[in-house]
Amino acid sequence: MASKNCDTQLPFICYGGNLVLIEENKTWEEALEHCRALSYDLVSVQREDYNILMEVVSGANTEEVWTGLRFLAGKWLWVNGADMMYSDLPLCPGMVQRCGVLTKTGTGRLETRDCSERKNFLCYIK
């Protein structure tokens, strides 16, 4: 353990049940690796969990947070294998708009973004 100046801003982790908000800005791939290194996974968004998720997302220091949504092999999927329940995602996203986020504004929709953008992210305990 090291001493730090009290004015030094450091990233921290917020826990909300089995959800973990990581307040570090990482690309989607880095976020996935970070979660898995902790034996967690990037969160899948199921409609029944939406309100709980949004409570945790509101604590992020970025306007959007990465989820486990990814466009691979011609289809949208959750990296944890959960059922895809969203039909409003683009069938053929642009080359870079292939990763999913939740926004703090809470529109109820998943948004697609460039996977190389740097954002906070949500992990969940498996």
Of 40, 43, 42, nearest to 125 (Cα)? Answer: 40
pLDDT in tens, 57-72: 999 999 999 999 999 9
Give the tokens for residue 75. 């289809």
Question: What's the CATH code, domain 14-125?
Answer: 3.10.100.10
Q: How confident is the model at residue 114 (pLDDT cuts 50, 70, 90)?
A: very high
Cβ of 84: how many Cβ atoms within 10 Å?
12
What does pTM read for this prediction?
Answer: 0.83
- Residues near 97 by Cβ (< 8 Å), separated by ≥ 6? 90, 112, 113, 114
* Higher local confidence (pLDDT), 100 or 9: 100
CA–CA separation, 15 and 12 (whole Å): 10
